[in-house]
Amino acid sequence: MPASIKAGLIGAAVITVLSLLGLIPCVGCITFILRWLVFAGTGVLAAYWLTPPRTVGEGAKVGAIAALISAAVGGVVNAAISGVSFLIAGGAQAFSSQAGQLPPELVDQLGEIGIDLAGIGATIGGVLAVSAVCCVAGALLAAALGALGGLSFAAAKSD
């Protein structure tokens, strides 16, 4: 099995555990930071499994691929968690009732800048769409961190 896939699957398992631990109140702040370290570590692991001599370019490439695999799995897990949490919390009805409790001045200010509370996240499709946008942005950052981790390791340990 290629080093990038092996490291990516290990990183995906760690990201899945961190996503589930993030459901615990106050732990989510810590797991959020740990996720970014896992992406860099996944890149290091992928570069470690390369056969010597390791080049910086190859280390960056396998690190980015491994981190992308981890981020893709993590994004799917987070989308599922967000969807289930939205439904457990009461779905669109709960969102509407909570939005109705906001001060009218705040609702007016949000309306002036073009934010319509009735249309934001009011459906499970909205929740999944926002999750997808976050997943793509997170995957790009994960690839950069994985490449940086793989590049750093390959530069330090080329033999």
R_g of the chain, CA atoms, integer Å: 20
Where residue 8 falls among pLDDT bands split at 50, 70, 90?
very high
Q: What is the mean pLDDT of residues 3-12?
A: 94
Is the pLDDT higher at 120 or at 9? 9
How do the domains of the chain map onto residue ranges? 3-156
Q: What is the mean pLDDT of residues 23-44?
A: 91
Instruction: Name the more confident of 3 and 110.
Output: 3
Residue showing tokens 């200010």: 109
User: Exposed/middle/buried for 130, CB within 10 Å: 0-12, 13-18, 19+?
Assistant: middle
Position 28 pLDDT exceeds 90: no
Q: How open is the CA angle 32-19-36, to the nearest 5 degrees? A: 35
Residues 49-103: tens digit of each pLDDT: 998 888 999 999 999 999 999 999 998 898 888 778 777 777 666 666 666 677 8
- What is the predicted pLDDT for the residue at 148? 96
CA distances from 47 to 30, 33, 67, 138, 156 (A): 26, 22, 12, 21, 11
Mean per-residue pLDDT for 129-153? 90
Q: How many beta carbons lie within 10 A of that of residue 50, not counting itself?
A: 23
pLDDT at 124: 67
pLDDT score for 118 = 63
